Amino acid sequence: MSFPAHITVLYFAAASTTLGITDELVPIPEKGLYLSQLTELLIERHSQSSLNALRKILDSSQWSIDAEMVDDEDLTKVELKDGMEVAVICPVSGG
Amino acid sequence: MLPPGSSVEGVVELSGAVCSISYALDTVESTIKRVSDDRFGAIATFIGTTRNSFQGKAVTKLEYQAYTKLALKTMTQIIVDARNRSPDFRAVVQHRIGVVGVGEPSIVIAVASPHRNEAFRTCEFILEEVKRKAQIWKREYYEGKDESEAEWKSNV
């Protein structure tokens, strides 16, 4: 099955250090994939990495789409679409 | 490893406030000048600096990354929220990205208000909100340890 749509996923901090990358283009189905399902998709894509570490990081992270934070309770309601910029927002430590 | 492509410099100017993310900070003097206003009698400033230790481990440096376009949006909203609590102030909030050595400043906040009470409180409010919400991350490097063992911190 080929996916015609793509999202850009941005990684920062611990997520980027664990994966060794800061961003990637991820193929997704044109419809029917929700933000709440992205963690599993990313873990499948990176099955050669340290899965426990990646899962732990993704489970403790929040998400943003096109530079807007998504509330945790809305993850199952937000459908991923072609061209979206999705960022993994690990617990922050500014200031 | 190179920093994320989205961890770049950026500035947002609002009415009476400037928020920025940059590799170097302006001098405290120039920041104070920017918020100064003859109507206001109090200027409160906060400067965060890199400490030389954490839980007994010697720290050699900190490194900061930001998802800049979102962090600046968040900082903008923090200023808006601060104005809802206390409308009359001028503020500058500057956060560094990149390497910040021991003793060096990573964040500068300056707030000018009519009186000292609001200046202190608004400055503290902005700092605590930035620490809680801004999409900025800090990595702590330790003496005698490989760079790969540097730890990403969490404010939670």
pLDDT > 70 in chain B, percent: 100
Average pLDDT of the residues in B35-55: 97
Name residues whose C-beta falls within 8 Å of residue B136's C-beta, 6 or more positions apart in sequence: A92, A93, A94, A95, B21, B64, B65, B66, B67, B71, B95, B97, B130
How far does the CA of residue B5 sit from the closest CA of chain A (Å)?
Answer: 7
Mark yes or no for CB contact A12/B48 under 8 Å.
no
Q: Which of A62, A54, A58 is nearest to A89 (CA)?
A: A62
Question: Which tens digits make up the pLDDT trace of B53-111?
Answer: 999 999 999 999 999 999 999 999 999 999 999 999 999 999 999 999 999 999 999 99
- β B90-96/B17-22 pair status: parallel
Q: Whose CA is closest to B40, among B144, B122, B113, B121?
A: B113
Contact across the interface for B152 and A69, Cβ inside 8 Å: no
**pLDDT tier, A1 (very low <50, low <70, confident <90, very high otherwise):** low
| Residue of B74, B97, B154 best to disrupt the A interface, most CBs of A under 10 A | B154
**B137 contacts on A by Cβ (under 8 Å):** 12-14, 90, 92-94
Per the CB < 8 A criterion, the answer to whether A59 and A26 are in contact is: no
* Planar angle of CA B3, B7, B9, nearest 5 degrees: 125
Determine contact, residues A67/B73, Cβ cutoff 8 Å: yes
Question: Residue A2 pLDDT > 70, yes or no?
Answer: no
Structural tokens at position B61: 């440096």
Q: Cβ contact (<8 Å) for B152 and A22?
A: no
Q: Residue B107: its chain A contacts at CB < 8 A?
A: 94-95
- pTM of model > 0.90: yes
The nearest CA of chain A is from the CA of B133 a distance in Å of 7
A52: number of Cβ within 10 Å: 8
- What ipTM, to 2 d.p.? 0.94
